[in-house]
A = this chain, B = another copy of it.
Amino acid sequence: MSFLQKFIDKIQKENLFQKKDQLLLAVSGGIDSIVLCELCSQAGFEFKIAHCNFQLRGEESERDEAFVKSLGERYSTEIFIKKFDTEKYAEEKKISIQVAARELRYEWFEELIASTTGKLEPTTKKFSETSNNKHRTLYILTAHHANDNIETLLMNFFKGTGIKGLQGIPVKQRKIIRPLLFAKRGEILAFSKVNSLSFVEDSSNLSDKYTRNYFRNQLIPSIRKVFPEVEDNLLHAIERFKEIGMLYEQAIQLHKKKLLEYKEHEIHIPVLKLLKSIPLKTIIYEIIKEYGFTAHQTDDVLHLLKSESGKYISSSMYKIIKDRKWIIISPHNSLQAATILIDKNDNKIVFENGELEISKFVKSDTILSTESSIATLDAKDIIYPLLLRKWKQGDYFYPLGTKNLPAGRPGKKKLSRFFIDQKLSLTEKEKIWVIESNKRIIWVVGKRIDDRFKITGSTTNVLKISFNER
């Protein structure tokens, strides 16, 4: 089978795109992307060309841009060119040049895709002029090939990847398609020779490029000396790893389904059940990574499972809080959270029902407020962080001022019972929040403080919390 036929076959068999779809080829001007152009042309696909000028190689970058522009005539098609100030972008975002180039490239592609239906501004004429665009999907085609895939796999492997990194470069990723992934470098070279294609050479020594070249020219040949089949072995392995990845994902989804309880904006996980899950570390990592936590924080979560209530760890967007027999993943944005941590230094907390103002002072003879919207508490026994959360079934406290037991202390009372005594309606009950310190409720917010935390003769420091209902 000819190389062209193999190319067409792959596209059909793997259902990569339809002949009627709009194709935009990402063309650097190097051999791989030039071969991709020629294959698409010979296959009779209609396509346009996009070229990124990263302006990193002075004259050479301009030469490449001009060369790609010249393809417009050869293939009677339109060329989109975009110049990037890659160095500035990398500096501003504090990332490496190669990461910057990759981000800029794919960001531009996403833009091009987003504006599919005829709003693109090509260098020469309007993309929209092509008739009948409405029902045609726009795909971006890149020229990554089998050897790129092997090099990527090896680099990921040596960096210490999980199962994701072993699956190589995806053939189809949203609207980006890599129809040359099946082809080896040798086949591409042979095709370019037979078709007398001209292309530009990239003298770049970007460090990613450098590493790739090192793998290509030094390392892989060394491995081939002892394992002559290494490249084919790795290509087959990628296919296997993809399936292993799917099975991995299935198992993870099952564990999540068993463990995670979604409550409004939070996720509640029973600690005992989690501790019994095998393999614990990976399951924890797969749960937390979606909320911005890193692999390194997995050990912190393991530690948290055995910590006291109120301990927590943070990512940029979320907190993971230990709350008695649960760990709770809760957004920092407290307006959405149903479990909020109050630290020692917090003086204002905004939550669903309103605002809390928190202050501390030394007890004086000033008469303390008795309003139910203000809690004045003995600071002595209060342990931080406090937890502000919705009440739940099973909650109890020692309500201040209820009938004393024979021993002279108020009795322990379930909140559900307390609400009945207070004649709260269902709607009112649903809106009740509590503040907890070290597993003990200190205040049923806006209703009653706990007797154990009341101001007494021996109190020296007072914690005052005022509730302003929304």
Binding site for B on A (CB under 8 A): 155, 157-163, 211, 214-215, 218-219, 222-223, 225-227, 229-230, 232-234, 236-237, 240, 242-244, 246-248, 250-252, 254, 278-279, 281-282
Complexed CA–CA distance, A244 and B282 (Å): 8
Give 10 nearest A-B pairs by CB, closest first. A160-B233, A243-B279, A247-B251, A243-B282, A251-B251, A158-B227, A250-B251, A246-B279, A160-B237, A158-B230
Complexed CA–CA distance, A252 and B248 (Å): 10
Closest to A232 in B: B160
Q: In whole Å, how far is A209's beta carbon from the nearest beta carbon of chain B?
A: 12
CB-CB under 8 A for A162 and B244, given A222-B222, A250-B251, A254-B254:
yes
Question: Which residues does chain B contribute within 8 Å of A225, judged by CB atoms?
Answer: 214
Q: Is the CB of B234 within 8 A of A158?
A: yes
Complexed CA–CA distance, A232 and B158 (Å): 10
Q: Is the CB of B227 within 8 A of A218?
A: no
Q: Is the CB of B243 within 8 A of A214?
A: no
Q: Is the CB of A244 within 8 A of B233?
A: no
Q: In whole Å, how far is A236's beta carbon from the nearest beta carbon of chain B?
A: 5
Closest to A234 in B: B160
CB-CB under 8 A for A226 and B248, given A234-B158, A237-B160, A243-B281:
no
Scoring A218, A229, A236, A244 by chain B CB atoms within 10 A of each residue's CB, the highest score goes to A244
Q: In whole Å, how far is A167's beta carbon from the nearest beta carbon of chain B?
A: 12
Q: Is the CB of A211 within 8 A of B226?
A: yes
Closest to A153 in B: B157
Closest to A246 in B: B279
Q: Is the CB of B162 within 8 A of A240?
A: yes
Q: Is the CB of A244 within 8 A of B244?
A: yes
Question: Which residues does chain B contribute within 8 Å of A214, judged by CB atoms?
Answer: 225-226
Known: A158-B226, A161-B237. 18 other contacts (CB 8 A): A157-B237, A158-B223, A158-B230, A159-B233, A160-B236, A162-B240, A214-B225, A215-B226, A219-B219, A219-B222, A219-B223, A240-B282, A243-B281, A244-B248, A246-B278, A247-B247, A247-B252, A248-B248
Selected from B218, B232, B237, B242, the residue in CB contact (under 8 A) with A279 is B242
Question: Which residues does chain B contribute within 8 Å of A159, judged by CB atoms?
Answer: 227, 233
Q: In whole Å, how far is A294's beta carbon from the nearest beta carbon of chain B?
A: 14
Question: Which residues does chain B contribute within 8 Å of A278, judged by CB atoms?
Answer: 246
Closest to A240 in B: B162
Question: Which residues does chain B contribute within 8 Å of A236, judged by CB atoms?
Answer: 160
Complexed CA–CA distance, A222 and B248 (Å): 32
Complexed CA–CA distance, A279 and B282 (Å): 21
Complexed CA–CA distance, A243 and B233 (Å): 24
Question: Which residues does chain B contribute within 8 Å of A281, judged by CB atoms?
Answer: 243
Question: Which residues does chain B contribute within 8 Å of A240, judged by CB atoms?
Answer: 162, 282
Scoring A155, A160, A234, A247 by chain B CB atoms within 10 A of each residue's CB, the highest score goes to A247
Question: Which residues does chain B contribute within 8 Å of A250, judged by CB atoms?
Answer: 251, 254
Closest to A219 in B: B222
Q: In whole Å, how far is A210's beta carbon from the nearest beta carbon of chain B?
A: 8
Q: In whole Å, how far is A426's beta carbon from the nearest beta carbon of chain B?
A: 42
Selected from B158, B222, B226, B252, the residue in CB contact (under 8 A) with A233 is B158
Complexed CA–CA distance, A131 and B240 (Å): 52
Complexed CA–CA distance, A225 and B278 (Å): 37
Complexed CA–CA distance, A243 and B295 (Å): 14
Question: Which residues does chain B contribute within 8 Å of A242, judged by CB atoms?
Answer: 279
Complexed CA–CA distance, A428 and B299 (Å): 64
Question: Which residues does chain B contribute within 8 Å of A243, judged by CB atoms?
Answer: 279, 281-282
Complexed CA–CA distance, A230 and B215 (Å): 14
Question: Which residues does chain B contribute within 8 Å of A222, judged by CB atoms?
Answer: 218-219, 222
Q: In whole Å, how far is A154's beta carbon from the nearest beta carbon of chain B?
A: 9
Complexed CA–CA distance, A384 and B236 (Å): 36
Complexed CA–CA distance, A223 and B160 (Å): 13
